[in-house]
Structure 1
């Protein structure tokens, strides 16, 4: 991306309770701090919504459900690239935060509202969120172990017909993005940053191989789809918003005693294959916007 390219829109996608709002709050704090891949030269307008999210994090609470009836509450501002070969160039970052039900409906009905098709076509990249610990996670049906359940009355089985298995939902979203993302922007390879939220709450053995290995283990169908990139570039990132699980005994107290504005980290595989941990929470958004990640030392 050259300095002449001043527009890069990034779309946040995910079912509800997958960490979109928590990441948006932490992203804003990192942008304002300005010592990462992305910073902001001045405060954007209309950030009251994001400030409300930040207040929750500063109080030692994860941001709860946000309800906006499918309407976008856009977080936008002019960011400056702070590292790498594009250092000093500006990029307009637009992050519409939309209720998860909109995307769940799109998956269940295999159709996206036209207004969102047009918006996706204008976006340079996307952040696709998942969180295995979500209470809304839906397991894929195991036809062997579910034999007993299949004997239940059909009405009971379809009591929640809108519930699509999580990995099918994620695969559907990649298909939607491959069809539409960046189609209105000539000459770009659209990027999808897959965000594994709540990375710190995953057992240590699940984190050993990094985000890609974790996704492949938990969501094998979706993991396979990530490898089949097509016209997209897809990269998984693990994110910890608070540097540890606030529900773990003792960590919330430590978090409240610390500088909560500077907590959190990102885990990803560097260009040379090294599993890397960074305190720069802008890394996934910057990569999705087309900014190359720095080489490891």
Structure 2
């Protein structure tokens, strides 16, 4: 039996949990190029993500304060080729987006994370379209006013039986529109104390941070509450970790990284028709250049819609209602370029199957 490990990489609210939930629905229905032999039972957080989707709600973000040692890994046996391939014992380590974000800013990686990467010849890197965390480069004089208008809040989600107003008081990431005083992104993330770390040697300069002015409480507060590192710089650093630590494949090939643009259904028709790689080139040109530059990683870009539309907000109630009674393993799709044309393939296992080399 082949054994393997695939690492899921991405920042906060990038779509990792919802993808796992949707993947589980495909596994349970035995649909897709990659199929599971039997679903493990000790994966409560995966089951919770599935339950959210089955009630036509996106899963909330993972616990932002979950310590590094609290990772919730799982192992599952899968077969490629629509279930006809050889059996593979696949391990999926779970590391929260906040912990990845901290690793990007500190250039320090806990030793057991490094060990996971060193044993994984496959990875999926998630990039969320239209995410509020996708901070774009801007001049720092005007940045302060812009950032003050968009305070971070906690993104706990209230699950109710009546979903008529689901998402009415939340933004696109599930965060309450009204602030509640909870810690914001960029504030203390409890990743455990006295964790042995590996410091990654990088050639790039230190991340740009907002200057804190001792005589201006507002400036200091903004600096504390916002992570001002441009999103594409963070994406490049995640690729750097993968390139430095992931081993070659068993057949001697390059380690594979599937870059998945989530919330693909939120893009307009022109952006969808242009394809996932063109989207990255338009929105994150430096990151797109890093992907297309020859290196030791084999990279392919996909788009991903978990259920085919946006579940949040009163304006999307008609779409939520349209899913009532449907088998959710039949909704959603992977956007992939084939023969110069973007195809919306209903198989959401495609990025995972490709990354595994199947």
TM-score, structure 1 as length reference: 0.87
Question: In structure 1, what is the equivalent of residue 155 of structure 2?
Answer: none
2:348 is the counterpart of 1:281: yes
Cα deviation for residue 147 of structure 1 reads 4.6
Are the aligned partners of 2:4 and 2:88 in contact in 1 as well (CA < 8 Å)? yes
Over the aligned positions, Cα root-mean-square deviation in angstroms equals 2.3
CA distance, structure 1, for counterparts of residue 144 and residue 42 of structure 2: 51
**1:168-187 superposed matches below 5 A:** 168-182=233-247, 187=252
Deviation (angstroms), 1:150: 7.7
Shift of 1:137: 2.5
2 CA distance for matches of 1:233 and 1:268? 16
2:29 to 23, 28, 33: 33
1:118 matched to 2:104? The reply is no
Query: Does structure 2 retain, via aligned residues, the 8 Å contact 1:237–1:268?
Result: yes
Shift of 1:154: 4.5
1:210/1:48 CA distance change after superposition, 3 Å? same
Deviation at 1:30? 1.1
2:224 aligned residue: 159
Q: How many residues align?
A: 281
1:210 is the counterpart of 2:278: no
- Using the alignment, how far apart are the partners of 1:149 and 1:136 within structure 2? 14
In structure 2, stretches of 5+ residues that fail to align are 146-209, 214-218
The answer to whether 1:11 aligns with 2:7 is: yes
Quick one: structure 1 residues 257 and 188, their matched pair in 2 at CA, closer, same or farther if it must change by over 3 Å? same
Q: Using a 3 Å threshold, how does the CA distance of structure 1 residues 153 and 28 change in structure 2: closer, same or farther?
A: closer
Aligned-residue offset at 1:229:
4.0
- Deviation string 1:3-57 (CA, Å, 9 cap, x unpaired) is x6x1121100111111100000011111222231111122224122211110000
- Per the alignment, residue 82 of structure 1 pairs with 81
Residue matched to 1:193: 258
The whole-number CA distance in structure 1 between the counterparts of 2:85 and 2:223 is 54
Match of 2:16 among 16, 20, 25: 20
3-state secondary structure, aligned to 1:41: strand
**1:227: Cα distance to partner?**
0.5
Q: What is the CA–CA distance in structure 2 between the aligned matches of 1:27 and 1:125, rounded to whole Å?
A: 17
Match of 1:239, SS? strand
Give the secondary-structure state (helix, strand or coil) at the position aligned to 1:158: helix
Q: 1:161 to 1:63 in 2, by over 3 A?
A: closer
Residue pairs, 1:209-288, within 5 angstroms: 209-247=274-312, 248-270=316-338, 272-288=339-355
Residues 1:50 and 2:115 are matched in the alignment = no
Alignment of 1:62-77 (within 5 A): 62-67=58-63, 68-70=66-68, 71-77=70-76
Tell me the TM-score normalised to structure 2 length. 0.73
1:112-163 Cα deviation digits (max 9, x unpaired): 111111110100211111113223221222x4xx554589975326334644
- Give the gaps of 5 or more residues in structure 1: 292-297
